Structure 1
Amino acid sequence: MVKPTLLALSIAAACPSIVYAATDAQQDLATQLQQLKLQVEALESRLAEQAKQQTAAENQQNAAPVAVEKNVDEKPADGIEVGGAVRTNFSHTSYDEGNKNRGGDFDFDLLRLDFRGTVGDVSLNAEIRFFDYMTAVKKAYVAYQLDELWQAQLGITQVPFGNWPYNSNNYFFSSNYYLGLEDDHDLGLLFKRLSSDQWQLDIGFFKNDELGGIDGYVGDKTDRYSYDIVGARGATEDIYGEPVQALAETNTFASRFGYHVAQGQLNTELGFSVLSGKLHHGARNAGDYQAFALHLNSRYQRWQLQLQHSQYHYDLDDIERVAVGAYGFYDSIAAEAKSATVNLAYDLPVQWGPITDLQFYNNYSLVYDKSDQSRSTLMNVTGFSIAAGSLFTYVDYAHARNQPFVGGSMAGNSSDEEQRFNINIGYYF
């Protein structure tokens, strides 16, 4: 901006006739100079006032968006949103002769309802799933933001353990899921440190599983989304039968630590997880259990690599096998075992009609050193997922041995390897 004094002098210089136009006979030079001085002073005053008003207007204009944005952040609109999904599933298997003869089966998978939102300072996150054969609550918790870093969650919430939030990319998860060590949800209190720097910490206390533990008033202990221990297995018991001695987890502490490292386009989380709890048979404690894991989740451009080593131990007198339940079925796992997972994935953004993203992956799981001396469990899933608007589809080819939902059991002792080709199509709303 040109200073007022310079502007005024420029105006005066541009109008020399103001000073020199009058003749010597008609005007006195001193009088003209005095008049010019008064005019310049008046012009300077007006220009200064205009500049002052313009600066004030600019300051007010710049400040207005900040104030509006702050008010929006401080007072979000209250309300609960309802969403969900409808999913169908096609499978062609090597282990079911009827399925092979029919050329596979196409079935209804589930109807899912999600509830999420905030009322006041408390938020809600819940999900219920409806199957043909059962209804199961996956999660249902309220959350409160304690400060900028810490959030508290109370209710049925995810147990912090392993690569987060999933240690897999495919529809079947990893074998850890069937051991209760991936995407497990129990009833308790969880404190989450929201990552604002390089490290993240989750600490939780879970009173019991999502169905109320050993004395939960439910009709069927297998009507649940997450795999949990439901009983002890005797040496002669059917691995798929209802256990003679009921058991349940109680008073479990769990903690997950993650440290983030960034080098250029390479972003990696290194972490470890531990959990420890008690086992109860209704009248008294029957034992305890522990698990730990070392995990890595690394991304480079469109690539993702996940590695995890896990160990667990259900410490029960003279018991080398325990019963678990989920999805309307009983199954069995060794009371102690180790597992290893290796996952590699590649994301490919595309513009093919409604298709906007493809993810290709290969997920490998191995469960070994089982205390019941049964053969190891392995599962390798090669496939891809398709994102197309509200549709999300998994296309998987699973090759497995002693793996639930691929022709086996975690407590199986088969040397045969089975295959399952699977397509799961979901519409999310």
Structure 2
Amino acid sequence: MLQKESVKVLDVRPALSQSYMDSSEKQKALYKRTLFVVSISQIFGGAGLAAGVTVGALLAQQMLGTNAFAGLPSALFTLGSAGAALFVGRLSQRFGRRTGLTAGFMIGGLGAIGVIIAAIINSIFLLFASLLVYGAGTATNLQARYAGTDLANPKQRATAISMTMVFTTFGAVAGPNLVNVMGNFALSIGVPSLAGPFILAAAAYILAGVVLFTMLRPDPLVIARMIESTNIKSRDHLATTEQTESKRGIVVGATIMVLTQIVMVAIMTMTPVHMRHHGHDLGSVGLVIGFHIGAMYLPSLVTGVLVDKLGRTVMAIASGVTLLFAGLLSAFAPGDSMVLLVIALSLLGLGWNFGLISGTALIVDSTKTSTRAKTQGKVDVLIALSGAAGGAMSGMIVAGSSYLTLSFIGGIFSLLLIPVVIWSRREK
């Protein structure tokens, strides 16, 4: 039985919706169109999220004059993304993906504008408040991966997730590598150079919202929910189409993503500060972070196929092992070695990619369309909060000890993924 909050969207344009319900060919066409539209929005969304990752810690360090709180920007925009994930999930549940994702990207764009203003007037309070709002773009960019799965069959869900994520690479890699360009542009218009990437972020997030608002029609979640509702009412299809919710699957999928998020955010956040301490310029920082973000998203097409073919469990274990190597290499690589830092951060991104796609596929497998968006929003809240904790603790660990200690702890912590997935298999 569908929840009341989802009924409102089921009555929108019934004739159009019915045409999709009656035609499997139209459903396939809508599935492909949805992947295309979401992929385009992900290009802009990727460019938007790269700003905070690349220069957020450096901006805070410059304004505060200390390293102890350099991880705070990452903590703030990931904390903001937690609230936004819940908001976008509930909005999508009630009105569809188009409304939820559009609102999230627009709010993220406003947050990026706030960061620019904070840098101009040198206001720490406004910076922190704006970073919270900016986090909405991060949450929305992440939740967009679910839109591609709404009309996907069970054997292609991970592939659908990966197809939307891979397009994030184009914007996410371009963003960090435009740090110097945007910094120079910012200086030319009287804005501090470190705020330059947030100019790009503001434009990118707003454009992503515009793309989704104008092109994501009809809404894939609305159509998928109507199809499920009709099939459940049909006695002939009840035995084959009704999907049950698996709480254990949701817990395991969420745990995989939470652990990978903590490790990835903690090490990634302090890498720019670590590099600056060893004499690397802003362009080098952008290059390393560009490789890192590229590794987070570019392997997605292959990862999705592997998750669908080899299984969620195998790829979750691969995530833990990859993150272990990333942490150890980050810990023991010489600070002045660009090559080793690029490899370490690329492995960090790849391990996160394995964990996110396998965990996301588990969440989709374990939910019903009638409650899926709200559940996905709740899970992404946990992911965002874990990222906030990782970002906040990273600066304190480095200030109290070293980057080596942070990376080593992160690598060892990632091994917790293995007992989690072993437990999930034993319970079956």
Name the TM-score class by shorter chain: under 0.3
Structure of greater relative contact order (alpha carbons < 8 Å, 6+ residues apart): 2
TM-score, with normalisation over the residues of structure 2? Answer: 0.25
TM-score, with normalisation over the residues of structure 1? Answer: 0.25
Give the structure with higher Rg (CA): 1
If each structure's helix is expressed as a fraction of its own residues, which one has the higher value? 2
